[in-house]
Amino acid sequence: MARKVRVLIAKPGLDGHDRGAKVVANALKDAGMEVIYTGLHQTPEMIAESAVQEDVDVVGLSILSGAHMTMFPRVLGLLREKGAADMLVFGGGIIPAEDVEELEKLGVARIFGPGTDTGDIVSFIRDRFPAN
């Protein structure tokens, strides 16, 4: 059977707006991927544990609260600790340009800002998992 790309879409922290996360989750599903959506208010620990148990290829974090500089490094660190350093982590939300640069240095593969075409996110993942 052909491999399927599995993606975890998570909302860390306190902000309660998950429309963006849901739009992305739907777009990836429509692109033929298996998308696990965790719902709101996830701690980095919950996100990393879910990503590991679900054995996803990709983790997408949506953050609108401004907590990105703590959330992303925490999730990346926990994934490494749990033996899942090979997972591709990307993000979306309102994140200033200087932080984007910093996050990409830390190992976040890409940050998608407001107004991103979902097609760009699909091709971003497809480029890295061409078999699917």
Residues that bind another protein (CB under 8 A): 1, 3-4, 6, 25-26, 28-39, 41-43, 45-47, 49-50, 52-55, 82-84
CB 95 to another protein: min, Å: 24
List the beta strands (DSSP E) in 3-106. 6-10, 34-37, 58-63, 88-93
CB 132 to another protein: min, Å: 9
> Given the complex with another protein, which of 6 and 103 has the nearer CB atom?
6
Under a CB-based contact definition with an 8 Å cutoff, are residues 2 and 30 in contact?
no
> Given the complex with another protein, which of 44 and 111 has the nearer CB atom?
44
> Given the complex with another protein, which of 97 and 131 has the nearer CB atom?
131
- The CA–CA distances, whole Å, from 76 to 18, 19, 36, 51, 95 equal 21, 24, 18, 11, 17
